[in-house]
Each structure stands twice: as structure tokens, then as C-alpha cells.
Chain A
Amino acid sequence: MNIERLIKMANDIGDFFNAESDKEAASVGIRNHILRSWDPRMRREIIDYCEKDGTALHGIVKTAIDDLARSS
């Protein structure tokens, strides 16, 4: 999968949930959205990217994907 596209998708999701003032809740929202709507191969690739680099991910998105990685 095109990792740039996955990064953009993840950051776009982050932009929506970032409106939430409770950043922990926002992170959970991002995590759950990715968990419930992304095919596992897409999740694996974004987790893999997050673990190896992750710099292109917005902060709250990186937190959410770290959390996703822990629960996978």
C-alpha cells in the first residue's frame, strides 16, 4: 500500500477528532475509527511506519497508532 496515502488518511482522521478538547478521548476516537474501518493490511502498514519513523503523523495520530499497535 502507498504509505503516503495511508499517512494522509490517518492525519485526516486525526483532524476531525482533534476538535475534541479531551485529547485522550480524541486519541481513542482516532484509534477506534482506524480499527473499525481499515483493512488489517492497511493497519499493519501504518503501525509499521509509526514504529520505524512516524514523523509525518500528527502528534495525536501517532499516539493513537501507538495505542493501536499495543492492542493489536
Chain B
Amino acid sequence: MSMNKEQDFGTPARTASTLVNLEIDGFQVTAPAGTSVMRAAASIGIDIPKLCATDSVEPFGSCRLCVVQIEGARGMPASCITPVAEGMKVVTQNKKLADVRRGIMELYISDHPLDCLTCSANGDCELQDMAGAVGLREVRYNPQGENHLNAVKDESNPYFSFDPSKCIVCSRCVRACEETQGTFALTIDGRGFDSKVSPGQNEAFMDSECVSCGACVQACPTATLMEKSVIEHGQPEHAVVTTCAYCGVGCSFRAEMKGDQVIRMVPHKDGKANHGHSCVKGRFAFGYATHKDRITQPMIRKSIKDPWQEVSWEEAISYAASELKRIQANYGIGAIGGITSSRCTNEETYLVQKLVRAGFGNNNVDTCARVCHSPTGYGLKQTFGESSGTQNFDSVMKADVIMVIGANPTDGHPVFGSLMKKRLRQGAKLVVIDPRGIDLVKTPHVKADYHLKLRPGTNVALINAIAHVVVTENLVDQDFVQERCEKAAFEKWTTFIADPRHAPEVTEAVTGVPAADVRAAARLYATGANGAIYYGLGVTEHSQGSTTVIGIANLAMATGNLGREGVGVNPLRGQNNVQGSCDMGSFPHEFPGYRHVSDTETRTLFENDWNVILESEPGLRIPNMFDAASDGTFKGLYVEGEDIAQSDPDIQHVHHALREMECVIVQDLFLNETAKFAHVFLPGSSFLEKNGTFTNAERRISPVRKVMKPLGGYEDWEITQLLSNAMGYPMNYSHPSEIMAEIARLTPSFASVSYEKIDRLGSVQWPCNDETPDGTPTMHEQSFMRPGGKGLFMLTEYVATQERTTRMFPLILTTGRILSQYNVGAQTRRTENVAWHSEDRLEIHPHDAEDRGIVNDDWVGIKSRSGETVLRALISERVQPGVVYTTFHFPESGANVITTDNSDWATNCPEYKVTAVQVAKVSQSSEWQQKYEAFSQQQLELLEQGSHHA
């Protein structure tokens, strides 16, 4: 292993089809028109000295170190900003150029600390490299002259340091913040000698708009912006390419290592999902993997009132298997089940569902996608024939109208959010459909053309109104519909949607969105060339979540916005492997590849391969498991990587169900909330400790590679295999690549996927089979995946949620997440990311706050029909009057104490986004919080009494 440093071509690649031939230092070069001379030279191995240029940002022509001579041209043009031209003859090295470059470097070094040997960038400093490259041997300027050597460091950011004394004012950081991240937090303040990099209005980084994505740190050629981990530990010595374990963007990273210690995570330039960009979580928040709270010894206990007892792996697995078998003997085959997580790899998820189906002998397997994107799976399968988004992320760069529905990309999917903002800065139009004012509505150089601020729970009415405009104003793409969709269903839908009850003027009373805005947004989407829809959990987590997904699919088909780049229906998946966990057959009614368990041909295929008879009836979904547990018919549960006791709705019901079970097995990194109700704890492995693959929101299967040994001794797939063998169903994989080979063998859309291919291509998007051996960036180009190949329009009647506001509960609570924290927070709460968000707050509109005598930071009780919790108030005009909002990253917040058991009609995805509540100023935590604190403390004491965790 080595560092294998990524080559910096100096300026970004160009994609023009016209090729230009030129000569550089006597060598012939061919490059796309628009390519810089610097990049063309680099492409044939000629490195022109440079400082202000790097290939992640547009050239700037500031440092002049890259000057060249061009035959017939006057002077010495900077090669970074000089495009190639046909017949051009370029000289990159001669004495005159060398003298100029040496003179430039001499000036730079005259105002730079000469502490190279003790500098944190030693070994990775472009300034040092360039001094060597130009042969700088002396600095003739007086070191006592005016300089910046005493400029004060900014250490405010927990992850990186800003040392302006080492800054050469190349503006790479400023341009990275603008072009790559799109935050515009940095600027060059002052003129001439006074020029300096300034976050915000001359603020500290932490006080500025900086979102700590680290693009500036990565772009910095010196030690000015430097990871604190590098300052502390020194330069890494080898790197491994792997995939981020946070959101559904699935960024590719180089884990830069020193031995088995991660020094830093650097986004991989060749990563096709992220192109070298990252967010604060992926780049910096990896410290949880070695946090002191990690539990690395297996533990068992008879009752959740008993202390945990550390045992050997053999004893833990044997006990778990014997308990599961005992329960099945006493209560029946169907009395146990398993839950997997979208934080697990494909191979792990596949193995858990195989264990349940083949080893447990039932179909009681589910995944956390149940509580987020299960309606996507249902809705898109029904209409398009495949349970997935239709595009790759890069497709957004060809979109002309972007419609964001119930998603918050800059917080939830930040790297894709940056790409989307780049397209919006290029002029694409934007429609935001969200009850809350997300950042995209108005952010530097981006402003939504329409923000349809609907009432929570009225998505279907609004999508129907948009479709009504499309149909009644003759905006349907008739050619597309005639050729690509089922005719009778379309005609029925046209009649349905054209009914006046769906007109924006009628739905306005329901949605609260002015009819004129709806009509204008519909016209824009239908007629603005490439229309692309991106949506999130604000669509799915409703009682009509599946209906809205179907409505979106109808809309895209009706306007012909499918089957090519720049368009499509794009679910933004919350976690890194939501798509993958669904693909792998972790729903109780579907085998891998979304094939129903009742399908004899499919079942026979698996039976023959797995050498076992399989159940043909669907099993229990997660909420059904809780109901069955409360009912006494479900007694044992194997949970891998999911924290149902925090993340699922109506949490008191969940806790009751867990208490009713006789054996809860939790496989995780930490004693999470679910583990507090467990009887067996199996230490899991973080993404840094195992091999596997994740599949992101664009169906991209990317490698997860082990960079350190599992702290608990086993990779997660090995633990599942141990449990299966102990249950009596043999598994004998020696590496996850063998599991992927089995998946490919049994799943048509994965038929040509292999580790060899993933390593060779870097990643691959399914479907990947004989027809599309290198994968499928855009779905449904020629036909849909349904039988007959035609898209299906379906009727989407709006049905109001049963969760209504009343005098007792006059406000609607909706939930979401924030950039710096991730879901239940088990990972990010154990990192420095708490510096940005250390508690969940209740956002409340000033009018609602004033009515209740609430001011900022007051403790407020939030009471629903399900329960009550207490949070601190944050007065905000981001929410509209009548709506309050909170995040759910801290267990003590009890956000799910107040959410209800309402769920999507088709999939039981919980209605997290609509809860009727009352809010009042209080002076103490809620009864639930007090009980939770006592229970949680008791469980921590039981952990301490029985074990000595790492």
C-alpha cells in the first residue's frame, strides 16, 4: 500500500467534442477545446509549476508561476488561463521562464515562515515543492521588512486550523468555497499587501457561514488551512479508497492512514458520486469509530434488569441461538425475526435476510427503509416497474427546472446539494415544495423561483393540482405518453385529474398555496425543457406517502421528463445504503431484486441455491413486529445496526414491545437505545473495519474497504454467519466478495456485478447485467421495467390525514435533520460535530411564540396525542405560523415520544411529518424524559457492573 497521490492537472477537465492539436516542448498533444495549456501539458506528464491553480476550481491566473512561452505570442501567458489552440507551439522550460518563476517564488518565500522542518505540511506542501521545482536558493529581501509572520491563528473550528501567517493569498480556498461548496463563506479582504483570507465579515471560522465541508482545507497548497489530525499525528503514509458511511450520496473517500490509524478522510477525485467533494460529516466525523463508548466484548443477560455479563463470542452466539430456538419451540416459527439497517453493507443486509428466511424459516425481516423510503419502493415499482431513482447525480447538471419536494439537500445530502446549487447558479430554475424555508429557498446566488409553502400533510393535493394544470392547460407530452405509457390507464388518469376538485383554486383551501403560484410552477416544470424532481422524506413519511410518490411519477410521465439526462424522479435517500438494503431483499414480502415471496419461480431459484424450503407468505414489517410483540406472538428479535428504540415513531409503544420480548439481540457499535432493552449484545464493526459495498441514491454500488481490524474481532457479516451456523443453517463465506457473487447469481439486475468489476470501474450502477455490463446511469431510456415496458398512470385521490389539529393540539409538528448531525446521532454525537448542534431545538414562528409567551431558549413542552416532551425553543421565521419543527438527533429529546402510529397506507412508513401538538412554556423536563433518564442511567450502571468496555 502507498499514498498513490492523485494527480492534479491544474485546471478542470473540459468535455467539448472538438479536439485541438498542439505541441508542448516538442511533444504532440490532443485535448478537447477549452482545455488549458497547463492541463494539456499535465496530460502528457509535463508539470508546469503552479500555486494558485488546482483542478478542482476554475483557473485564476494569479500567481504567474505557470507562465509559458508560445510561439508567435507576446510575453509570457499564464498556462492555467490560456486555452489550447490548433497548431499552438508551447515552451514550458527555458532560462527566461526559470528566472521569472524563481523571482516569483523569492517574493512568496520572503513573507513566509521558514519553519519547514516543523511545519505540519512538511511532506505535503506545494509551496515547498515549487521552491524546489524552480531551484530557489536564496531570498534577497530583508526578513525584517513588513510581513504577515505574526498573523494570529484561528483555531475555532474543531477539525482544522487557519494559520494566516502561512497564507500566500492564492484564493484557492475562496474559490473552493464558492465553486465546489457554493457557500461563499470566504473572501479576500483588503487590497495589495493587506489582502487576506477572511471568513464571513472578518469573523472566526466558527462564527462565519462556513459549513466546515473542508473543501478549502483540501484546496490549500500550504499549511494555512490544515486538518488538526495531521497537525497532531503527522502525514499519512498510505491510503485506501472506500465509501462514506453517512448519507445516501455515498461519497468516495481516500482513507489516509498511518498504520491502522485514520489520519484524515479525503474525498476521492475519481469518486463518481462526489467528484472530490465532501461534507463535514464524511470528511471529519469519523472519530466515533474509535470512541471510548465502543463495546468490543460480546455480552449477555437473562433480563434487562440484570447486569451485562461479558462472555466469549462462542458463548454469546450459542446463547443467542439457543434462545431463538427456544422461543420458536415455545411460540412458533414466526415468533422471531430480524431487522437490518441502511447503515449495513449490501452483503450484510443480504445475509441477514438469508438468515431469517433460510435459518429462522420465516419472512419476518425488515429494514429501516420501512421508516423512510418504503413508499418510494412501492410507488416507483407500481408506476415505472423498478424501485429506484431514475438518474445519476451528474444528471442535475443538465436540468433546466429543478423541483425539490420535501427534501433539504444542503443539510441532508450536502455534497449533492452543492452540485445542485452549482447548476442553479448556472441558471436552472427552482421550485421548492416544503412547509419550511429550507436553505435552498434563498442562499447566496440561489433563489427559488417558487416556494410552494404547503401545509404539512397536503402533498397529494398539491401534486394533483400541479398535474391538473398540466392536463387542463394541454401541457402533456403527448408523444411520450402515447409511446411509453399504458393508454387506458392514462386516459382514466386524465379524466380523474382534470376534475375541477383538483384545480389549484380549489386545493388552495387545503394546501394553503396560492393557486397562481401552483399554476406558474406547473407551467415552468412542464415547459421548461428538462424538468427534474428531487424528493425526500417530506414526501414519503406521510399517511399518503406512497400516493405522493405515485403522483410524482404520474407528473414526470405526463410531461415526458423521464428516460434521458437532466430529468427524472430522484428520491434522495437518507442513509448511505437505503437503496442497497431494499435491493437486497430485506423487506418481508420480497426477495433480493424486489421479487415477491409468493412468486414460485423466484422462490424455487432461492430454494435450490440455498438448499432449503422457503416460506411463500409475507412476514411482519417492523411496526407489525411491535404490535405482535405487544400481543404476545413475537418474542425474539435480531437487530443489526439499527436503533429502533430511538428512531421509530410512538416510542413508548416500541419500548413496551421490546420489554415484552424474551430475547433481543443487538449487533452494534455502542450500547444504543435499543441495546438498553437487549439480552445479547454482539459488538459490530464500523465501516472502517470491514469489506463490502454500499449502494447510494443513484443505484451506484461502491466499495467499502477495511482499513483497520474490527475492534470486536469480527466483521458484521461474519457475526451473522456465526449466528446462522449456530441456528443450524450453514453459511461458509470466506469473504464478502463471495456473498456478492451469490447476489449476482440470483438477482438479474445484479447479474454482472462483481468485486473485480467494482474495483476496475470504481463503482457501478445497477441494472448491471449482460445487456448493460458497465451499469445504467439513466433508467427507462427506451422502455419501463414493467411487464410490457409501459409506464402506468395511477389514480391519486387526496385523503386528509387523520392527524388533525384541534383546540387542544392546534399546531403541526414536522421533523427533519441538520447538516452536522446524522439521524439518531449515535455516530455524530460522538464527534466534534456537537460543536454545531449539541441539542435538538423546537423551531417556532414568532407569532406562535408570542401567543404563548415564549422567547428564545425557553424550555417548552410539546404535547401530542401520543406523549409529551420538552425542548428549548428557537424562534424562527423558517417555519410558517401554525407549524413547529424539530430535529431528532438526541435520544433525550424524545421527538418520537410525540409522533403517532399513523402510517402510509401501502407500506406502514410512519407519518413522522405530521403530528398535531400544543406547545407551552414549562420549567422542567417531561415525565417521559425523567423516566428515560432514570432508565438510561440504570442501564449504563448495569453495563458498568458487568463489563469493562473498551
- Report A's interface with B, CB cutoff 8 A: 1-2, 5, 8-9, 12-13, 15-16, 18-21, 33, 36-42
* Chain B residues numbered 610-633 whose CB sits less than 8 Å from any CB in chain A: 617-621, 624, 627-628, 630-631, 633
Does B596 lie within 8 Å of A36, measured CB to CB? yes
* Chain B residues numbered 544-582 whose CB sits less than 8 Å from any CB in chain A: 544, 546-547
Does A37 lie within 8 Å of B589, measured CB to CB? yes
Contacts of B543 in A (CB 8 A): 12
Q: A16-B547, A33-B906, A39-B624 are in contact. Are A1 and B588 (CB under 8 A)?
A: no
How many A-B residue pairs have C-beta atoms within 8 angstroms? Tell me.
64
B763 at the interface (CB under 8 A from A): no
Chain B, Cβ-Cβ closest to A42: B624
A5→B799 CA distance, assembly (Å): 18
Supply 9 A–B pairs (Cβ within 8 Å), ascending by A. Answer: A1-B627, A2-B627, A5-B901, A15-B905, A16-B544, A19-B795, A19-B797, A36-B618, A37-B618
A2, A9, A36, A40: the one within 8 Å of B905 (CB): A9
Does B633 lie within 8 Å of A15, measured CB to CB? no
A18→B795 CA distance, assembly (Å): 9
Smallest beta-carbon distance A58→chain B, Å: 11
Q: Tell me the interface secondary structure of chain B in the complex.
A: loop
Chain B, Cβ-Cβ closest to A5: B627
Smallest beta-carbon distance B235→chain A, Å: 54
Q: A5-B901, A12-B905 are in contact. Are A19 and B627 (CB under 8 A)?
A: no
B496 at the interface (CB under 8 A from A): yes
Chain A, Cβ-Cβ closest to B598: A36
Smallest beta-carbon distance A36→chain B, Å: 6
Does B906 lie within 8 Å of A16, measured CB to CB? yes
Contacts of A37 in B (CB 8 A): 589, 618, 621, 906-907
Smallest beta-carbon distance A21→chain B, Å: 8
The 4 closest A-B pairs by CB, nearest first: A19-B797, A12-B905, A19-B795, A15-B799
B79 at the interface (CB under 8 A from A): no
Q: A2-B630, A39-B624 are in contact. Are A13 and B799 (CB under 8 A)?
A: no
A16→B905 CA distance, assembly (Å): 8
Smallest beta-carbon distance A32→chain B, Å: 11
Does A39 lie within 8 Å of B619, measured CB to CB? yes
A1, A8, A19: the one within 8 Å of B796 (CB): A19
B908 at the interface (CB under 8 A from A): yes
Given contacts A16-B544, A39-B621, list 17 more A-B pairs with CB under 8 A: A1-B624, A2-B631, A12-B905, A13-B905, A16-B905, A19-B795, A21-B492, A33-B906, A36-B589, A36-B598, A37-B618, A37-B621, A39-B334, A39-B364, A39-B624, A41-B334, A42-B624
Does B630 lie within 8 Å of A41, measured CB to CB? no
Does A39 lie within 8 Å of B588, measured CB to CB? yes
A56→B542 CA distance, assembly (Å): 23
Smallest beta-carbon distance A72→chain B, Å: 11
Contacts of A5 in B (CB 8 A): 627, 901
Does B908 lie within 8 Å of A9, measured CB to CB? yes
A59→B797 CA distance, assembly (Å): 18
From B363, B544, B627, name the one whose CB has the most chain A CB atoms within 10 angstroms.
B627
Instruction: Please classify how large the interface on chain B is, using the bins under 10, 10 to 19, 20 to 34, 35 or more.
Output: 35 or more
Contacts of A12 in B (CB 8 A): 543, 903, 905
A21→B493 CA distance, assembly (Å): 11
Does A1 lie within 8 Å of B628, measured CB to CB? yes
From A9, A21, A37, A41, name the one whose CB has the most chain B CB atoms within 10 angstroms.
A37
Does A19 lie within 8 Å of B496, measured CB to CB? yes
Smallest beta-carbon distance A2→chain B, Å: 5
A4→B577 CA distance, assembly (Å): 34
Contacts of A20 in B (CB 8 A): 795
A8, A16, A33, A42: the one within 8 Å of B797 (CB): A16
A23→B519 CA distance, assembly (Å): 32
Chain A, Cβ-Cβ closest to B588: A39
A20→B546 CA distance, assembly (Å): 16
A20→B901 CA distance, assembly (Å): 27
From A2, A20, A39, name the one whose CB has the most chain B CB atoms within 10 angstroms.
A39
Does B905 lie within 8 Å of A39, measured CB to CB? no
Contacts of B906 in A (CB 8 A): 13, 16, 33, 37
A21→B495 CA distance, assembly (Å): 11
A12→B364 CA distance, assembly (Å): 23
A36→B492 CA distance, assembly (Å): 25
A35→B547 CA distance, assembly (Å): 19
Contacts of B907 in A (CB 8 A): 37
Contacts of B364 in A (CB 8 A): 39
Smallest beta-carbon distance B420→chain A, Å: 32
Smallest beta-carbon distance B790→chain A, Å: 18
Contacts of A33 in B (CB 8 A): 906
From A15, A16, A20, A38, name the one whose CB has the most chain B CB atoms within 10 angstroms.
A16
A70→B110 CA distance, assembly (Å): 91
Does A15 lie within 8 Å of B620, measured CB to CB? no
Smallest beta-carbon distance A9→chain B, Å: 7
Chain B, Cβ-Cβ closest to A2: B627
Chain B, Cβ-Cβ closest to A26: B795
A15→B598 CA distance, assembly (Å): 25
Smallest beta-carbon distance A33→chain B, Å: 7
From B334, B631, B905, name the one whose CB has the most chain A CB atoms within 10 angstroms.
B905
* Chain B residues numbered 891-950 whose CB sits less than 8 Å from any CB in chain A: 901, 903, 905-908
Contacts of B631 in A (CB 8 A): 1-2
Smallest beta-carbon distance A12→chain B, Å: 4
Q: Could you give, for residues 580-621 of chain B, a 1 whenever the CB lies within 8 Å of some chain A CB and a 0 otherwise?
A: 000000001100000010100000000000000000011111
* Chain B residues numbered 834-886 whose CB sits less than 8 Å from any CB in chain A: none
Contacts of B547 in A (CB 8 A): 16
A8→B938 CA distance, assembly (Å): 37
A12→B802 CA distance, assembly (Å): 10
Chain A, Cβ-Cβ closest to B363: A39
Contacts of B588 in A (CB 8 A): 39
A59→B520 CA distance, assembly (Å): 40
A18, A19, A39: the one within 8 Å of B620 (CB): A39
A43→B620 CA distance, assembly (Å): 11
B617, B795, B903: the one within 8 Å of A39 (CB): B617
A20→B802 CA distance, assembly (Å): 21
Does A15 lie within 8 Å of B797, measured CB to CB? yes
A16→B596 CA distance, assembly (Å): 21
Does B633 lie within 8 Å of A41, measured CB to CB? yes
Smallest beta-carbon distance A30→chain B, Å: 10
Chain A, Cβ-Cβ closest to B908: A9
Contacts of A18 in B (CB 8 A): 797
A9→B624 CA distance, assembly (Å): 11
A22→B596 CA distance, assembly (Å): 26
Smallest beta-carbon distance A70→chain B, Å: 18
Does B618 lie within 8 Å of A39, measured CB to CB? yes
Contacts of B624 in A (CB 8 A): 1, 39, 42
Chain B, Cβ-Cβ closest to A11: B905
A15→B547 CA distance, assembly (Å): 11
A40→B628 CA distance, assembly (Å): 12
Contacts of B334 in A (CB 8 A): 39, 41
A5→B543 CA distance, assembly (Å): 14
Chain B, Cβ-Cβ closest to A14: B905
Chain B, Cβ-Cβ closest to A34: B618
A31→B853 CA distance, assembly (Å): 51
